[in-house]
A and B are shown apart, each in its own frame.
Chain A
């Protein structure tokens, strides 16, 4: 976890990915590389297949063609045992947390440990408690059920569950969607903090321009059925494509740039 064997090595490699739903082509010849230890933001208009890409990488959806390698292993052409072992090395946080509604917050975080590890109950409870505290949930939230939590707290609990097994990669699907600006900013900070503390690679599907400015090392733009451009935020501003220009230089984007700049000052 802690050691980094060269900052440039690729943990997710997608090559020539094709995906269609009946007549609707979502991805055609999509390539993407994610490097170890970075926070990559995936942006794109509605319906460009950001979540579909995420679901294919973690193996929930089967691509029609193309290769997906995570941590040097193919996600598709592996034995069940290898896939299970691979799955332990990543965590996924779904949009609304996707917590198990019949379990408390703490039990939700314990669930992956219970399934994947053979450890004592005491250690599991302690570690789940630490993870729940790490994502900034108050002490009285540990025993609450998901329905008793606010949207922001559910997202935090979902994040705690995704890091329950100390993964190398976490996939976050719209972590700040539906949060107020203060809550969203706090969540951004949390992602950055835990990313450095746990040495995570973060695959961040987002719409939030503020998140992109605040925490993403690189941004990948999904458009025209493929990854149109990858690079830092500064590089995005150089790209001459109508949608990219509109997205990164529109009025809301300028506000976000201003906010990021004043934050630095």
Chain B
């Protein structure tokens, strides 16, 4: 365990040194990432300042939801979501083989060599938005914090599941960076209160593709008004994670039996 942790830290150090070789680009990329992710919160502020609202949600509650969503992405993207681009790029260049000749799990090595420092901008944005909106709502109690922590952890595992599926697709669907665009358009539903959408969309983002768990469900728990279907969404998320792990290993087997 400690050996793997040390290896992960070494991977982070190497990725940071590599990225910081181009200092200007390093800081610019972080700022651009932050600005791109600020689109939804700015739109929310604009809506509320023009007298409109999300039914049942104050502006700061809506911003908290978006802060939770951005915080989840801000942790996932730098620390493990990079396996998507790492895998697609390596399979395309033919260097995915180099992971297979190392005495570690291929998935772990794909994570270790994929730390993405540019996405630290998302984390910074997530922390700021979450802290600012939290300071404008009544302080949550211990029980709300505990529920939030558990659901937020599940949100991270769900993002890990998405990363595994996209990376797995990248193994057989060579050079297709479009898979990320599809993911990005689908998860956009997670930035807003589920009640805004029709019943069928709500069912889809809660019980079929677990998107509501990425922001909406943990935020409602923190606000002390847990969403209906929270337990079902948790169950679906666990099943989704197990499916994505199986999918990754299936695709990896396809690679090693076909030779990439």
Whether chains A and B associate is: no
- Which residue numbers of A lie inside 8 Å of B, CB to CB? none
